[in-house]
Amino acid sequence: MPRRIDDTIDGGPDDPEDLLPDHSILSFEEYMAMQRAIGNGTRFKILYRLKRDGPMSAKELTESLGIDGNSLHYHLNELVDVGVVENRKENTPDRDGLYSYYRATAIGEGLLEHGVEALMRREQVFRDAYGRDE
């Protein structure tokens, strides 16, 4: 069993896997897969748009982001595979057939809000703290 260390005393455990609670629902590898997935600019933009604007169809995403359909579906599949986006399908068809839409999952929203988005929003604070005016 990994040894837990009080993060406030020494800055965190030696092994980053020890950051996970004892009965984590996701493994360290699953968290890293999510991080890699949203580390791609196109996938980050897709997840950001879904978080900001809510559920969208692939067609709506293609139009709003200017990404061709094949590329979009590749990136959506990557995001769905790691659990940061989910694909929901309506059970009853409308005049255009079965409607499918994508939405950010709670963990996907959390990764953005408390990860890269938070860093981007705090850039000026970092610049002030480290004296960089480039």
Token representation of residue 117: 């988005």
- 104: nearest Cα among 92, 112, 94: 112
Per-residue confidence band for 3, with pLDDT thresholds at 50, 70 and 90 = very low
Q: Identify the residue whose tokens are 């020890």.
A: 18
> Is 106 or 14 the better-scoring residue by pLDDT?
106
- What pLDDT sits at residue 116? 78
Q: Count Cβ neighbours within 10 Å for each residue of 58-74 and write b for 16 or more, e otherwise.
A: beebbeebebeeeebee
| 10 or 56: which leads in pLDDT | 56
Query: Is the pLDDT reported for residue 134 higher than 70?
Result: no
Average pLDDT for residues 48-54, to the nearest whole number?
Answer: 96
* pLDDT per position as a tens digit, 71-97: 999 999 999 999 999 999 876 666 666
Q: Of 23, 22, 118, 39, whose CA–CA distance to 82 is shortest?
A: 39
Residue 30: CA count within 13 A, CB half-sphere: 12
Is 26-131 a domain of CATH 1.10.10.10?
Answer: yes
Q: H or E stretch including 76?
A: helix 69-82
CA of 107: how far to CAs of 3, 19, 69, 73, 111, in Å? 26, 17, 25, 20, 6
Domain residue limits, the chain: 26-131
